[in-house]
């Protein structure tokens, strides 16, 4: 109870700060001296009105059970009432002051916008606090990086338990004709290596329902091919999980999807110049933005039933990894992405995937304990599952980051460059899980890339917000490890002096030499 009261009190304080910031923004935009007088006279009255209506409609009773959608409706209701009462009050008291109404509209707009941003962040934080962290396990590195709840972790079977898979069964001419009729001859030729010499037994379907997979009479298959676009599947993870259950270990799953990069090219090529970008902008808003926002997601899925949604390449492959597959090959044919996945384990059964702006990632902390590091989302959903895959494909670039990381969004890349994505780590700083200066908190996958000596020394201390990277600006992974080792050895001898030196050096690199995160 005391915690709830303290939380509500903090929300009142923060909302009060948002109120006055919004008013100052309105004054700046309106640029009227008379409005400044009005602000000084009526700001207290409007402030009392704001707090009263907000408290009456329980804006400050937020909890992890509230949900972002419910909070959005509460904000809209409260602020609409406040706008109506405030505008009516201004007309009654000073009917000749028409600019005052416009000023108050500006103020409410800015305050509402700031509140939406804050409460989206705050509700995500409350929800993430209830997310359990997984136990460290070598067999679930990708899952540990993701930071999502796991209800079933697959134990690698003993060698004698793995079924023997017979290959070399040539497809019949009748089946070949049907497949060519479905996907075209050029696509068939590109996929022939998987269709002509499949792993037996073979199942070929074109379906968007799990029923047509579950109802197959055979208990398991060596190869399952589905030629229906996965964009039309309402519960996509459930479908992938059902296919997983029907596959033998090391069996193959071949499917196809229209991902957004190829969809963009198709739209821009199909429509005349000028109109094509207008259509693309509308399509992006409708099919990429609306399904992700908590306020429009329910409306979108109510209208579309989740069919023909647009997926990114990252989300498509990430969902496959989370559902127990490794990617064997990606093939782009006629603006369609064909993927081949191999079953390597049971699914992780992710029951609460996060699309929100705030995410929590599992990282190795002091004493090797896995801690949840808060960050702003800069990657497509399900990106965390692809970390081992993309590392194998692209390796590392300068600074120890993955080269050509297609998981990062355009806006996410900008946020990373200026450290905006790391602002939520202040939560970890307040909780005492990290300190101001220290080695960067690493995922399990990246932690395993370090030398045993450095790993042992790393877990003796808390990771930090500002890494020693900015003191030396290393370019390769070996240089990054050398830089961190020098910091840790110096920290062992004199912690305070070392952190002060690295903090000062980091500020110099960032402010004077314009060093940027990457």
Q: Is the pTM of this model over 0.75?
A: no
Return the higher-pLDDT residue of 378 and 450. Answer: 450
**How much is the CA Rg of the chain, to the nearest whole Å?**
27
Please write the tens of the pLDDT for every residue from 478-500: 888 999 999 999 999 999 999 99
Longest dimension (CA), the chain: 88
Contacts 24+ apart (CB under 8 A), 416-419: 416/378, 416/517, 416/518, 417/516, 417/517, 417/518, 418/516, 418/517, 419/517
| Residue whose C-alpha is closest to residue 468's, from 455, 456, 454, 482 | 482
Whose CA is closest to 205, among 244, 245, 253? Answer: 253
CA dihedral defined by 280, 282, 286, 290, rounded to 10 degrees?
A: 110
Peptide bond into 201 cis (omega under 30): yes
Averaged pLDDT, 294-310: 73
Output the average pLDDT for the chain.
Answer: 77
Q: Is the pLDDT of residue 74 over 50?
A: yes
Q: What is the mean pLDDT of residues 226-234?
A: 91
Query: With pLDDT > 70 as the criterion, what percentage of the chain qualifies?
Result: 74
Tokens at 228, concatenated: 């229906």
State how far the alpha carbon of 217 is from the alpha carbons of 81, 254, 291, 404, 507, in Å.
60, 20, 36, 44, 66
pLDDT tens for each residue of 255-276: 999 998 888 888 888 888 888 8
Architecture field, domain 144-343: 3-Layer(aba) Sandwich (3.40)
pLDDT tens digits along 187-211: 999 999 898 888 889 999 999 999 9
Domain ranges in the chain? 2-129, 144-343, 359-511
47 exposed, middle or buried (CB, 10 Å; 0-12, 13-18, 19+)? Answer: middle
- 382-402, pLDDT tens digit by residue? 877 777 777 776 655 554 566
pLDDT tens readout for residues 13-41: 888 888 878 777 776 666 554 545 555 55
The pLDDT of residue 6: 45
């Amino acid at each position: 109870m005391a915690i709830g009261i303290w939380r509500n009190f903090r929300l009142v304080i923060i909302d009060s700060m948002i109120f006055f910031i919004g008013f100052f923004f309105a004054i700046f935009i309106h640029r009227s001296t008379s409005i400044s007088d009005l602000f000084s006279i009526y700001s207290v009255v409007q402030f009392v009105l704001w707090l009263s209506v907000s408290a009456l409609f329980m804006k400050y009773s937020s909890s992890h059970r509230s949900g972002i959608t419910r909070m959005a409706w509460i904000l809209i209701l409260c602020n609409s009432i406040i706008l109506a009462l405030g505008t009516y009050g201004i007309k009654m008291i000073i009917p000749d002051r028409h600019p005052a109404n416009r000023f108050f509209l500006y103020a409410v707009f800015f305050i509402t916008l700031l509140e939406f941003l804050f409460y989206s962040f705050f509700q995500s934080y409350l929800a993430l606090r209830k997310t359990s962290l997984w136990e460290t396990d070598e067999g679930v590195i990708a899952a540990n990086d993701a930071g999502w709840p796991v209800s079933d972790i697959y134990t690698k079977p003993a060698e004698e338990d793995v079924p023997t898979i017979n290959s070399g069964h040539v497809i019949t001419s009748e089946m070949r004709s049907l497949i060519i009729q479905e996907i075209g001859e050029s696509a068939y030729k590109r996929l022939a290596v998987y269709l002509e010499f499949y792993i037996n037994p073979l199942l070929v379907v074109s379906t968007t329902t799990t029923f047509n997979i579950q109802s197959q009479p055979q208990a398991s298959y060596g190869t399952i091919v589905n030629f229906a676009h996965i964009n039309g599947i309402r519960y996509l993870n459930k479908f992938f999980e059902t296919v997983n259950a029907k596959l033998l270990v090391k069996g193959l799953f071949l499917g196809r999807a229209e991902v957004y990069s190829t969809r963009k090219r198709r739209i821009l090529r199909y429509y005349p110049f000028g109109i094509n970008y207008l259509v693309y902008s509308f399509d992006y808003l409708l099919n990429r933005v609306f399904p992700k926002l908590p306020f429009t997601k329910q409306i979108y899925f109510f209208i579309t039933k989740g069919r023909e949604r647009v997926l990114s390449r990252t989300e498509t492959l990430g969902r496959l990894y989370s559902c127990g597959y490794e990617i064997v090959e990606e093939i782009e044919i006629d603006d369609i992405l064909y993927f081949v996945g191999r079953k390597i384990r049971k699914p992780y059964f992710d029951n609460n995937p996060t699309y929100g702006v705030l995410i929590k990632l599992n990282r190795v902390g002091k004493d090797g304990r896995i801690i949840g590091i808060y960050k702003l989302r800069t990657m497509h959903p399900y990106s965390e599952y692809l970390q081992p895959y993309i590392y194998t494909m692209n390796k590392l670039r300068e600074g120890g980051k993955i080269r050509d990381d297609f998981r990062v969004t355009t806006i996410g890349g900008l946020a990373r460059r200026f450290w905006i994505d790391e602002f939520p780590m202040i939560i970890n700083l307040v909780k005492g899980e990290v300190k101001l200066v220290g080695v960067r908190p690493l995922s399990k996958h990246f932690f395993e890339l370090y030398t045993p000596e450095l790993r042992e020394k790393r877990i003796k201390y808390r990771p930090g917000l500002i890494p020693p990277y900015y003191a030396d600006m290393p370019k390769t992974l070996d240089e990054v490890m050398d830089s961190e080792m020098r910091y840790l050895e110096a920290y062992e001898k004199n912690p305070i002096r070392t952190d002060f030196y690295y903090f000062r050096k980091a500020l110099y690199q960032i402010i004077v030499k314009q060093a940027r995160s990457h």
